[in-house]
Amino acid sequence: MKRSSSLAGRLVGVAAIWSAFVLVGTGYGLTALFRTTVFEAFDQELAVSIDALAASVETDQAGQLRIKRPPTDPRFVKPLSGHYWRVVDVEGPLLIQKVGVTSRSVWDRPFIPSADLLNQVRAAPGSTQSVDIVRAGEKLRIAGRLVQLPNRRYPTLIMVGADTQEAVDAAARFALILTLGLIALALGLLGAIFLQVQLGLEPLRQMGRQLGKIRAGCLERLDEDVPRELAPLASELNALLTHNQEVVERARTHVGNLAHALKTPLSVMLTEARHKSGDFEDLVARQCETMSRQVEHYLKRATAAARAETLGTRTPIGPVLEDMCKTLRRLFAMDGVKVSCSYDNHLIFRGEREDLEDMIGNLAENACKYGGGLVEIRARAASNTHIEIAIEDDGQGLDDLALLSARKRGARIDESLPGSGLGLSISDDLVRVYGGSLILGRSSYGGLKAQLLIPAAEKV
């Protein structure tokens, strides 16, 4: 049967997926927010430089632009430092190249604004606008403002530009640190979720272990001292166990009542028929005997079925075999039958003692009756879940055809000895009720070998 997925795995999986979704969204949002903040500060720095230039720009006696107090930032002095400024007159979409002043950092590379910046500053004179350009391999962000100076024919464009690589690197470092932090947080959350799920499901696991002990016969009821969410389940399971025991007891009572109700009339009819002679009386006697055998057979089967459904029944193998051997030795002492038994001390049958005695007793009694005088009973562990009990004798055994018919109800291979022919059939029915099997074959002593494979109780 295909096993379903783990409940703990489902809970951890759902929590992990949701946590990953939240953490990824949080990381993306924080990274975007930090990048926006960095570039807002970057733009604010450019605007401050523009303000300083706007306050210092003037016209000299020759009518040329000049900066009375240039910005003191040393990066505007160092050639190609990545920080530049320029003040120049514009006419429409064109710069008036022969006038204007630039920072020393521009060096020999022209610092020309893009058409996008010119369009933006003309559309909003007096306000600061920004654009991104690439200048000789540098990624620059240029801020510009268009002002009208007194006594000048053309408006003046004040531009300040700076390399954005530092801001980009800062955003990348923040993203890396944030990613590592979120990964560590995710691992911590997964560990906490896993621990929470394991602790939360432990009462269910404990309940499962208790049910296993009930089935093995080590406990009778579940512990109801559990979390309140599981208390109704524990209570209902205990009620179900109690109901199961009551049903089995009622079945046993009904079986006993039926046996008592049927056997007495049959015994009276059989006794009366035997005291009279005649064809009718012989027919009644034979039918009564047949009915008595059938009643005994089906009552034993019904009793075994009821017992097999009972949880927690355990029967040690050793004492049953010892008592069985002692009984058989006394019964067949006059016939010179020798009965021996061997077994492992730890073997425990998962079922009722009475059923085990019936299964072994019928087979062992047949071995004593029809064998050559030597009967051996052995019990061993066939696997972790089953026990093998072998009964062997040194008689003539059975041929292949007889082996096939031996388990039929009422079948008698040897008519010279008394019996009902139900022993093998009853043993076979009983072992099948418990989910086991009966195998008939040739004994190493030359006679019949009967092997019972019965369920073993779990070790405590």
Residue-wise pLDDT for 155-182, tens only, equals: 889 999 999 998 999 999 999 999 999 9
Q: What is the residue extent of each domain of the chain?
A: 1-215, 233-308, 315-455
Binning pLDDT at 50, 70 and 90, where does residue 109 land?
Answer: confident
Structure-block tokens of residue 30: 């924080």
Of 18, 25, 78, 72, residue with least CA distance to 49: 72
Residue 102 near residue 111 (C-beta atoms within 8 A): yes
Q: Do residues 324 and 341 touch, judged by C-beta distance below 8 A? A: yes
Asked if residues 358 and 430 have their Cβ atoms less than 8 Å apart, the reply is yes
Please report the pLDDT score of residue 419 as a whole number.
Answer: 45
**What pLDDT, on a 0 to 100 scale, did the predictor assign at position 98?**
58
- Band (460; pLDDT cuts 50, 70, 90): low
Other Cβ atoms less than 10 A from the Cβ of 224: the count is 13
Range picked from 44-58, 87-101, 263-277 for highest mean pLDDT: 44-58
- Provide the pLDDT confidence category of residue 12 given band limits of 50, 70 and 90: confident
Lowest mean pLDDT across 200-204, 271-275, 312-316: 271-275
Residue 358 confidence (pLDDT): 85
> How are beta strands 374-381 and 386-393 bridged, if at all?
antiparallel
Lowest mean pLDDT, pick from 43-47, 151-155, 254-258, 406-410: 406-410
Of 58-67, 123-132, 141-150, the one with minimum mean pLDDT is 58-67
Q: What average pLDDT does this structure show over 376-383?
A: 92
Reference 414, options 331, 406, 425, 401; nearest CA is 406
The predicted pLDDT at position 1 comes to: 47
438 touches 428 (CB < 8 A): yes
User: Which one has a higher pLDDT value, 301 or 8?
Assistant: 8
The pLDDT of residue 286 is above 60:
yes
The pLDDT of 328-356, averaged and rounded, is: 88
**pLDDT given for residue 162 in this prediction:** 92
* Among 180-189, 315-324, 414-423, 450-459, the least confident range: 414-423
**pLDDT of 411 above 70:** no
- Global pTM reads 0.53
The superfamily (CATH) of domain 315-455 is: Histidine kinase-like ATPase, C-terminal domain (3.30.565.10)
pLDDT at 293: 66
Across the range 351-361, mean pLDDT stands at 85
Cα of first residue to Cα of last residue in the chain, in angstroms, is 27
User: What pLDDT is stored for residue 410 in this prediction?
Assistant: 44
Kindly report the average pLDDT of the chain as a whole number: 82
Q: For residue 28, is pLDDT > 80?
A: yes
302-311 mean pLDDT: 59
pLDDT > 70: percent of the chain? 85
Crossing angle, helix 165-216 and helix 231-274, to 10 degrees?
30
Q: Is the dihedral of CA 48, 49, 50, 53 positive or negative?
A: positive
- Whether 29 shows a pLDDT value over 90: the answer reads yes
Residues 235, 224: contact at Cβ < 8 Å?
A: yes
Residue with tokens 């034993």: 300
pLDDT at 307: 59
Cα gap 347→321, rounded to integer Å: 11
Please give the Cα distance from 70 to 77 (Å, whole number).
10
pLDDT given for residue 150 in this prediction: 86
User: Is it the case that residue 394 has pLDDT exceeding 50?
Assistant: yes
With contact defined as beta carbons under 8 Å apart, do 86 and 143 qualify?
Answer: no
